[in-house]
């Protein structure tokens, strides 16, 4: 069946989650943080994801903004930077303005020219996602921004993936789902989507019952898959 709808995870897939820490470090090159920003970005992202999984398993849902703050606070304390309130506020501000990866605007534009429906499906809360989309100037290239907040549970719960069919009245086989998270691409494959894992870091495949159909090093491969 022909793909009619291409759906993207947001954080780490369209938007560079390390950008907030990297930009904050550039603003204060002589600060202690400038030496530690890559590690902080790594811990922040890891805890952010872990907290979504734990909250989904235990039924203790909250919005993604709280999870993002919790992950940052853990990372700052782990690196003994938790006394710097100004740094914390700046990092959180920058997270609302994350940079898109360089290939994203043209890739989305190309998909629209092919008549493909395009959307985001993310753990992010609606206001966070809309802020990132507007900051990156992607509004004209997306038909929908779908947030888990309407389901009350984080990915990879199947009710989150249901949002795509509900929004576009399409079958699972008409959807190409793209994520930089191997577990997300795998779970979406198990759900029934055609999937692409964007493996920018050259990581090994997750040991899960399902595997993504395609693996790409960046998003430039997406248009070729649909032509």
Give the three-state DSSP class for 131.
Answer: helix
Given the residues 9, 16, 184, 194, select the one marked as catalytic.
Answer: 9
Active site residue 9: yes
Q: What is the DSSP letter of 117?
A: E
**Strands in the chain per DSSP E:** 5-8, 117-122, 144-147, 175-179, 194-198, 214-216
Spatial distance between the Cα atoms of 25 and 96, rounded to a whole number of angstroms: 17
Task: Write the CB contacts of 38 (distance below 8 Å, at least 6 apart in sequence).
Answer: 18, 21
List residues with catalytic annotation: 9
């Amino acid at each position: 069946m022909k793909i009619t709808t291409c759906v993207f995870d947001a954080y780490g897939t369209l938007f560079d989650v390390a950008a907030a820490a990297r930009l904050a470090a550039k603003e204060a090159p002589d600060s202690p943080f400038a030496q530690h920003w890559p590690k902080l970005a790594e811990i922040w992202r890891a805890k952010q994801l872990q907290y979504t999984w734990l909250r989904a398993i235990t039924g203790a849902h909250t919005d993604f903004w709280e999870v993002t703050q919790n992950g940052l606070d853990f990372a700052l304390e782990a690196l003994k930077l938790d006394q710097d309130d100004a740094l914390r506020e700046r990092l959180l501000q920058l997270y609302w303005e994350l940079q898109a990866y360089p290939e994203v605007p043209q890739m989305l534009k190309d998909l629209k020219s092919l008549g493909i429906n395009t959307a985001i499906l993310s753990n992010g809360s609606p206001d966070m996602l809309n802020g990132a989309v507007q900051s990156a100037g992607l509004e004209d290239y997306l038909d929908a921004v779908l947030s888990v907040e309407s389901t009350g549970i984080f990915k990879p719960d199947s009710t989150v993936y249901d949002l795509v069919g509900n929004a576009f009245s399409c079958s699972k086989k008409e959807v190409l789902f793209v994520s930089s998270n191997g577990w997300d691409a795998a779970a979406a494959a198990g759900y029934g989507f055609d999937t692409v894992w964007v493996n920018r870091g050259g990581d090994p495949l997750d040991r899960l019952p399902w595997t993504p159909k395609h693996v790409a090093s960046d998003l430039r491969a997406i248009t070729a898959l649909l032509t």
